[in-house]
Structure 1
Amino acid sequence: MGLALDEPNEEDKVFEYENFKVVVNAKELENIGDVEVDFRDSRWGSGFTVRSTFGSTCS
């Protein structure tokens, strides 16, 4: 699993919140559960953080 900037394919699931779209590969949808995507900007760097209900976090 990873993050990438990409155009959605026909089989992808697109989620929209306000002016933000998240595209998820349909094959991976069952593997991610409920997730929270956040952008963090700190003195140590910036980037996206993804938290899953499965208990793992990736940055």
Structure 2
Amino acid sequence: MALDEPKENDKIYENDSLKFLVEGSLMATCGGITVDFVDAGPRSGFGITSVNPINGGGGCSSGSCGSGGCG
């Protein structure tokens, strides 16, 4: 998960005022992706899961992104 500008091959999804960009090839590999905010006090952050998890960190692997970022 990172801040980025849209690129030609990105799929763009909007929810309320948030815009999510997913690289087209990553979406094909991961299948459906879910992004949730986990409220856990000082360990709060975003949890990202996918239909087809990718092992090795980054991308669509299950886990959460706290203050240190993902991937």
TM value normalised by structure 2: 0.67
Identity %: 39
SS at match of 1:27: helix
Structure 1 vs Structure 2 CA RMSD: 1.7
Distance 1:47 1:5 in 2: 15
State which drifts further: 46-55 or 18-27.
46-55
Unaligned 5+ runs, structure 1: none
Structure with bigger strand share is: 1
Distance 1:17 1:27 in 2: 21
Partner of 1:12: 10
Matched residue type, 1:6? D
Alignment: residue pair count = 57
Q: Pick one of 45, 48, 51 that aligns with 2:46.
A: 48
Distance 1:30 1:54 in 2: 10
CA shift for structure 1 position 42: 1.0
Matched residue type, 2:44? S
Matched residue type, 2:41? R
SS at match of 2:25: coil
1:58 corresponds to 2:63: yes
TM value normalised by structure 1: 0.77
